[in-house]
Chain A
């Protein structure tokens, strides 16, 4: 059950089927801002099984003139599971802003959710609905890279700040926009983190195996660039691809098995990755496996013990010891009865820095916000971050981890085995291809 989706559909239907129109009914969209009560009970079950009547993100009564935040979340479609994690992060962050920070500019903060369905056209439509009918001050979210790009473009047209979640280079590269900011790692930051560490620690002979679609192709491209940028010796033994949704990896595994490769770069996610991992365990693959995705919890749950011992770049680790992380973990666990994820982290960092920028600027006016955000330095849950002026990409430390046997939970854990500096993992401004357009 996805409550806010219900609300959205129901509201739409009211409008299609005879409800009143105009500003009053529009505020109903995605759970209305002044329908207090919300889920302030703090017992979100986390599995999304709440009853359907509550699309409200707001944890308490919000005042007359709240700062309005438009969340773009895939509540249905193939990214629905990620959407749930994102929604939990959104609730946690709103709670923090309203209850702990004391709002933005002494105003309460109200959240609105629209469902992107993981579809770029729909994402753009929903961004429009946020701006035109929910009257939001800032946009945030979207999982799929294509959706991020289509929203970023729209947000710039409308002059609304947008915090992206997706990884594609273009978001802070050739498609950079003055209104777009990204606290999430870019694909090249991930690649530079993993590539350098793996060449130094796993060996110089690598076999690249990716799924033949946008995500896999991007991994292959960025990691090859990162190998080059590392100035280390490397040798690509072979590069192979299987179609998305391929289920038998015996052929490629037997080729890797009998090759001189030291490690394999695994460029896919979801059930493809689960199959690959369980089959490589059955084959007793001697090569190490390096991935960018095994850090994701649903994948660790699906692959179980066959993921143990593989390496992965890490986007977020709840046990990482910083003060900021402790705050995030405590609140998220209190509200949702489970530790936060990377989705929560990025929403948390983005919105808390947005609030800070608004306070410093004394307004939520877009130009002032941009001015404050550019170059902003902050202490984030995973360490210090700087929002770089040249491309609006956050510079953060990169982490590499190893998947470990389950201890605290039913699914395997992860331990951090490598840390690289922000300068080291971020490409220089001159390489980004970003020519920042005017606002």
Chain B
């Protein structure tokens, strides 16, 4: 039967090709399963999207390499290295996540992003940025005859080892007492606690298991994928995609999806190599459109896991507030008074860059802070805005008004589409799909070099406001960016004060109740996403005007992470807080780079501290300070948001 079924296939390809395809797909698939397994385990039990997963995968590779160097045995290293990484994972979890499991996933995403920054920089400090050579173990070097073809022994070993590890993990979760408690905790924390289970301890053990799996995947991959600090990025994307396709929280789903993605990748590499960089994203989008809960996703996101809620509303400051007017006055005078006395034109450009990041963080706040949708793909709108302005300037007109209009239109349309595809997905799916779309656009900007200039990027000469005002001039640009920032803030505040804005905040608090009240919440989400995308496009368009250059870097997911960071740093859900956060982030970047090579590590540290101790960001300092002065609260009053899980819907 099997032979006759495969006959039509064999009409197109030879037996050798078919054998290669089978083994290549299997080896890749097993590797993907392994990479995703740890991520799936952690998410399935604790509801945490662990952005540091790729970093632990990378550390696994480095520590395995270190143990190989010390002991000379690859097989010893493959066990000892990952155990050490699991130890690091436990420490990281205890210091960070273990304190905030009951918070919104926004904070989980951010705190693990902070861990990622720190771990990556530590690796660069210890091992440098170069690629390390990882010798294939003697025993597994070279190829061996498998049926009609010679196939690398190491890949066969990967298939075998991966299958054993995946099976072992499954058995552990399915049949051991440890697994039983984990599953109990995942289903109902409160009941598990009532049964006398120390659930926090089990969360820590889950994290250890997840990082162990990440590290062993890294160790296994090292002999054929190179070992360098960047390797974690790819692994994180794989984990995201595989887990989302398989169904969030489903271990079996991750196995099926990993194999599916592996075989598809191998087939596409062979038959349609031009699409090879897009396989992940196309599969992911297809899965989310056809079966949004994933292949084996019987899992329902627990309500609290998708919510962002504050016990304290910090209203946006009106533009007519005296403090705002004073600040605006100072900013208006800054270049006039400051240029050539206290600052260079470089300094003026730097302040203008702060305005740009203010707009980007503000745009994110409208969907995340106000509507409660966690977007991890705002780089998409930022990058699209910058490319549209660059391309319009190069090919059509150098009028700033027209190119910026085009940027707003395109970014808003893409955002509306993203909203339309993903609005029915809640919470974490939303983070994943926005992430995937951002990366898809990034990949396109690299590959489609005829249009985008590929990795070389695009340079533009100058942009004019009305045919005569040169906005590439730094001081002119400064005022333009300031005006756009004020206008963006005004628009955002008007929206949030309107009935529509209240509806958005109602969605954030409880989408179900809002629906019961007769509102079309999906429509509202699409609309606010379009508005937010337009603002993100404004920021990107301004960026390319300032730099006269754009590149795929503007679309890379790290930009999305930085935007989230800026938003939370300043104060999520306040509109003006994120603007402050964006400005402070740019300032920190400039100051820290002077004194520290590894300044991103400090950023990670600041991020973790903010998430742990000041979840409403810098603006809460002001509010707390004011209240302290009036004696209205104790020093540790209500800055911590109350746990949101207990509110029954």
Q: Do A and B come from one complex?
A: yes
B460-474, CB < 8 A from A: none
Determine if A15 and B347 form an interchain contact, defined as CB atoms under 8 angstroms apart. yes
Minimum C-beta distance from A77 to chain B (A): 9
B365-424, CB < 8 A from A: none
B443 interface hit (Cβ, 8 Å) = yes
Whether A271 contacts B228 in the complex (CB less than 8 A), given A15-B344, A16-B347, comes out as yes
B234 interface neighbour in A247, A258, A282, Cβ under 8 Å: A247
B487 interface hit (Cβ, 8 Å) = no
Determine if A251 and B152 form an interchain contact, defined as CB atoms under 8 angstroms apart. no
Determine if B549 and A10 form an interchain contact, defined as CB atoms under 8 angstroms apart. no
In the complex, what distance in Å separates the CA atom of A270 from the CA atom of B226?
A: 10
In the complex, what distance in Å separates the CA atom of A247 from the CA atom of B141?
A: 19
Determine if A278 and B226 form an interchain contact, defined as CB atoms under 8 angstroms apart. yes
A9 interface hit (Cβ, 8 Å) = yes
B136 interface neighbour in A80, A121, A146, A278, Cβ under 8 Å: A278
In the complex, what distance in Å separates the CA atom of A257 from the CA atom of B456?
A: 33
Determine if B136 and A282 form an interchain contact, defined as CB atoms under 8 angstroms apart. yes
Minimum C-beta distance from A254 to chain B (A): 4
Minimum C-beta distance from A293 to chain B (A): 13
In the complex, what distance in Å separates the CA atom of A10 from the CA atom of B547?
A: 21
Determine if B132 and A246 form an interchain contact, defined as CB atoms under 8 angstroms apart. no
B456 and chain A: residue at smallest CB distance = A146
Bits for B337-349, please: 1 = Cβ < 8 Å to A, else 0. Answer: 0001111101100
Determine if A251 and B24 form an interchain contact, defined as CB atoms under 8 angstroms apart. yes
Minimum C-beta distance from A218 to chain B (A): 10
Determine if A243 and B343 form an interchain contact, defined as CB atoms under 8 angstroms apart. no
Q: Which residues of B contact A283 (CB under 8 A)?
A: 143, 150-152
Determine if A214 and B454 form an interchain contact, defined as CB atoms under 8 angstroms apart. yes
Determine if A302 and B133 form an interchain contact, defined as CB atoms under 8 angstroms apart. yes
Q: Which residues of A contact B27 (CB under 8 A)?
A: 250
Q: Which residues of B contact A279 (CB under 8 A)?
A: 152, 224
A324 interface hit (Cβ, 8 Å) = no
B588 interface hit (Cβ, 8 Å) = no
Determine if B135 and A304 form an interchain contact, defined as CB atoms under 8 angstroms apart. yes
Determine if B28 and A248 form an interchain contact, defined as CB atoms under 8 angstroms apart. yes
Determine if B277 and A243 form an interchain contact, defined as CB atoms under 8 angstroms apart. yes
Determine if A213 and B269 form an interchain contact, defined as CB atoms under 8 angstroms apart. no
Determine if A282 and B130 form an interchain contact, defined as CB atoms under 8 angstroms apart. no
Determine if B129 and A80 form an interchain contact, defined as CB atoms under 8 angstroms apart. yes
A238-258, CB < 8 A from B: 240-248, 250-252, 254-255, 257-258
B62 interface hit (Cβ, 8 Å) = no
A40 interface hit (Cβ, 8 Å) = no
A42 interface hit (Cβ, 8 Å) = no
A275 interface neighbour in B132, B151, B225, B591, Cβ under 8 Å: B225
Minimum C-beta distance from A223 to chain B (A): 18
Determine if A248 and B133 form an interchain contact, defined as CB atoms under 8 angstroms apart. no
Determine if B269 and A242 form an interchain contact, defined as CB atoms under 8 angstroms apart. yes
Determine if A248 and B20 form an interchain contact, defined as CB atoms under 8 angstroms apart. no
B273 interface hit (Cβ, 8 Å) = yes
A282 interface neighbour in B154, B346, B593, B597, Cβ under 8 Å: B154
B641 interface hit (Cβ, 8 Å) = no
B594 interface neighbour in A13, A121, A251, Cβ under 8 Å: A13
Q: Which residues of A contact B594 (CB under 8 A)?
A: 6, 9-10, 13
Minimum C-beta distance from A284 to chain B (A): 4
A145 interface hit (Cβ, 8 Å) = yes
Q: Which residues of B contact A21 (CB under 8 A)?
A: 340-341, 344
B143 interface neighbour in A146, A274, A278, A284, Cβ under 8 Å: A284
B99 interface hit (Cβ, 8 Å) = no
Determine if B135 and A16 form an interchain contact, defined as CB atoms under 8 angstroms apart. no
A258 and chain B: residue at smallest CB distance = B16
Minimum C-beta distance from A53 to chain B (A): 12
Q: Kindly name the residue among A9, A16, A214, A274 whose own CB sees the greatest number of chain B CB atoms within 10 A.
A: A16
Q: Which residues of A contact B225 (CB under 8 A)?
A: 247-248, 275
A337 interface hit (Cβ, 8 Å) = no
In the complex, what distance in Å separates the CA atom of A354 from the CA atom of B132?
A: 38
B152 and chain A: residue at smallest CB distance = A282
B84 interface hit (Cβ, 8 Å) = no
Q: Which residues of B contact A388 (CB under 8 A)?
A: none
Q: Which residues of A contact B152 (CB under 8 A)?
A: 279, 282-284
A111-144, CB < 8 A from B: 119-122, 124, 144
Determine if A120 and B143 form an interchain contact, defined as CB atoms under 8 angstroms apart. no
Determine if B131 and A250 form an interchain contact, defined as CB atoms under 8 angstroms apart. no
A383 interface hit (Cβ, 8 Å) = no
B514 interface hit (Cβ, 8 Å) = no
A437 interface hit (Cβ, 8 Å) = no
What size tier do the contact residues of chain A reach?
A: 35 or more
B125-148, CB < 8 A from A: 129-136, 141-143
Determine if B20 and A254 form an interchain contact, defined as CB atoms under 8 angstroms apart. yes
Q: Which residues of B contact A281 (CB under 8 A)?
A: 136, 141
A153 and chain B: residue at smallest CB distance = B459
A304 interface neighbour in B133, B341, B456, Cβ under 8 Å: B133
Q: Which residues of A contact B129 (CB under 8 A)?
A: 80-81
Whether A284 contacts B549 in the complex (CB less than 8 A), given A213-B446, A247-B225, A248-B225, comes out as no
Whether A274 contacts B24 in the complex (CB less than 8 A), given A9-B590, A246-B277, A284-B143, comes out as no
Whether A252 contacts B226 in the complex (CB less than 8 A), given A121-B547, A146-B457, comes out as no
Whether A241 contacts B135 in the complex (CB less than 8 A), given A278-B223, A278-B226, A282-B143, comes out as no
A101 interface hit (Cβ, 8 Å) = no
Q: Which residues of A contact B21 (CB under 8 A)?
A: 251
Bits for A274-307, please: 1 = Cβ < 8 Å to B, else 0. Answer: 1100110111100000000000001101111110
In the complex, what distance in Å separates the CA atom of A251 from the CA atom of B131?
A: 23
In the complex, what distance in Å separates the CA atom of A303 from the CA atom of B130?
A: 11
In the complex, what distance in Å separates the CA atom of A283 from the CA atom of B146?
A: 12
Determine if A302 and B226 form an interchain contact, defined as CB atoms under 8 angstroms apart. yes
In the complex, what distance in Å separates the CA atom of A30 from the CA atom of B228?
A: 30
In the complex, what distance in Å separates the CA atom of A251 from the CA atom of B153?
A: 16
B520 interface hit (Cβ, 8 Å) = no
Q: Which residues of B contact A10 (CB under 8 A)?
A: 594
In the complex, what distance in Å separates the CA atom of A303 from the CA atom of B20?
A: 24
Bits for B589-602, please: 1 = Cβ < 8 Å to A, else 0. Answer: 01101100100000
In the complex, what distance in Å separates the CA atom of A35 from the CA atom of B131?
A: 37
B230 interface hit (Cβ, 8 Å) = yes
Minimum C-beta distance from A83 to chain B (A): 12
A217 interface hit (Cβ, 8 Å) = yes
Whether A250 contacts B28 in the complex (CB less than 8 A), given A120-B456, A121-B459, A282-B142, comes out as yes
Bits for B519-558, please: 1 = Cβ < 8 Å to A, else 0. Answer: 0000000000000000000000000000111010000000
Q: Which residues of A contact B226 (CB under 8 A)?
A: 247, 271, 274-275, 278, 302
Q: Which residues of B contact A12 (CB under 8 A)?
A: 344, 346-347
Whether A278 contacts B344 in the complex (CB less than 8 A), given A16-B350, A284-B142, comes out as no
B225 and chain A: residue at smallest CB distance = A247
Q: Which residues of A contact B224 (CB under 8 A)?
A: 248, 275, 278-279, 282
In the complex, what distance in Å separates the CA atom of A217 from the CA atom of B274?
A: 13
Q: Which residues of B contact A258 (CB under 8 A)?
A: 14, 16-17, 20, 149
A428 interface hit (Cβ, 8 Å) = no
B73 interface hit (Cβ, 8 Å) = no
Q: Which residues of A contact B549 (CB under 8 A)?
A: 119-122
In the complex, what distance in Å separates the CA atom of A79 from the CA atom of B638?
A: 48
Determine if B130 and A243 form an interchain contact, defined as CB atoms under 8 angstroms apart. no
Return 14 A-B CB contacts under 8 Å, by A number: A9-B590, A21-B340, A120-B457, A144-B456, A214-B449, A250-B24, A251-B269, A251-B273, A254-B149, A255-B17, A278-B224, A282-B136, A282-B155, A304-B135
Known: A217-B449, A254-B24. 9 other contacts (CB 8 A): A120-B459, A122-B547, A212-B274, A241-B274, A243-B446, A251-B21, A278-B134, A283-B150, A306-B133
List chain B positions with a Cβ less than 8 A from chain A: 14, 16-17, 20-21, 23-24, 27-28, 129-136, 141-143, 149-155, 223-226, 228, 230-231, 234, 265-266, 269-270, 273-274, 276-277, 340-344, 346-347, 350, 443, 446-447, 449, 453-457, 459, 547-549, 551, 590-591, 593-594, 597
Give the top 5 A-B pairs by smallest Cβ distance, nearest first: A121-B549, A16-B347, A304-B133, A302-B131, A243-B277
